Structure 1
Amino acid sequence: YPGSLKFINAALEQGLQVAVVSSSRNAPAVLIASGLAHHFEVVVDGQVAAAAGLPGKPDPATFAYAASLLGVPTEECIVVEDAVAGVQAGSRGHFHAVIGVDRGAGHQSLFDAGATQVVDDLNELL
């Protein structure tokens, strides 16, 4: 998604830290294959979560763990998610904001799950 890449680059240019939190067990491989791995100093995927004994989404533990690895309090972090369970996790974790990205879940479903804002593309936030 070109808008997502623009959003990531804009965040990094502003000096913000970014992390990937994925329930997938192959997130690092996907990031390497896509040429995006260098953008993320922290990746918490299914393997990391299992090794750390963290429950998956909709529990907020993986997001909180990523925030701790970045050294940023959760109340200062923004969660960006396209899945209902991920939005629920962000909402339950009391993060500063939860941005839902509608990639098919539906705006209302993401709002109902706890999104503070819903967009069709992250480019809308720039």
Structure 2
Amino acid sequence: MDGVVTDTARVHERAWTRLFDGFLAERGRGEAPFTSDDYLRYVDGRPRVDGVRSFLASRSIEIPHGQPADPPTAHTVCGLAARKDAMFLHELDEHGVDVFPGTVALIRALRTAQVAVALVTASRNAVRVLDAAGLTDLFDARVDGIDVDRLALAGKPEPDTYLEAARRVGFPASACVVLEDALAGVEAGRRGAFGVVVGVDRAHHGAALRDAGADVVVTDLSDLEVRFGTA
């Protein structure tokens, strides 16, 4: 969703940057700040807790995992994840949600042609974001961060969420196309043996998307030529 359908990846990156820069400053050890490369490598496309854990591991930082109900003030992995969520929602309320017109046009064309479209996102705020963008009814199925917890699905780069989406629309992975801007999401599509994995290069990292498993890389989904009909 973020970075493919809605232009909220930048909102997430700002929230992650505020979170980790503040956390690193609190440690008082002169550590290098959180960067855009850190965002793409360690947190983009992953569930919040996985993102916190992945980034901290990259810096060899260990803190208690905590509990899912930990408040944003808790000095735990779950507490940092909750703090990031609060920062994201603040950014969302302050700046609103923009969409990528090329993506919306493609999805509407697919729906008109009776091609099933599912949304897969690690976000637990998917409904709120889609409502704000006016896109709630655009998809045949949705698998989000709430489903990840409820069904105990592994987050990206594991393929579980994409495989669940394919199951919900009634097709095998080999008959489905994955559209992803996150490295973890592209890798999930590759691991799940999906028919085609399209990398959407919003962050000028096309080579990394290809290395992660993208069969095709475009800068916007309006660049795709879609033909309907029998093979």
Aligned twin of 2:158: 59
For residues 11-30 of structure 1, the aligned pairs below 5 Å read 11-30=110-129
1:12 CA displacement: 1.0
Q: Does residue 10 in structure 1 map to residue 109 in structure 2?
A: yes
Q: Does residue 117 in structure 1 map to residue 223 in structure 2?
A: no
Aligned twin of 1:76: 175
1:106 CA displacement: 0.9
Which residue among 107, 111, 114 is the counterpart of 2:206?
A: 107
TM-score by length of 2: 0.53
TM-superposition CA deviations, 1:87-108 (whole Å, max 9, x none): 0000100000000000105110
Q: Which segments of 5 or more consecutive residues in structure 2 lack a partner in the other structure?
A: 1-99, 226-231
Larger Rg: 2
Aligned twin of 1:94: 193
Q: Whose strand fraction is larger, Structure 1's or Structure 2's?
A: 1
Residue correspondences, number:
126
SS in 1 for 2:171: coil
Give 1:110's aligned amino acid.
L
Give 1:52's aligned amino acid.
L
Q: Which segments of 5 or more consecutive residues in structure 1 lack a partner in the other structure?
A: none
Aligned twin of 1:44: 143
Runs of at least 4 residues of structure 1 off by over 3 A?
none
TM-score by length of 1: 0.97
Percent identity for Structure 1 against Structure 2: 46
Q: Which has the higher contact order (CA 8 A, sep 6+)?
A: 1
Work out the CA distance in 2 between the residues paired with 1:33 and 1:72.
30
SS in 2 for 1:79: strand
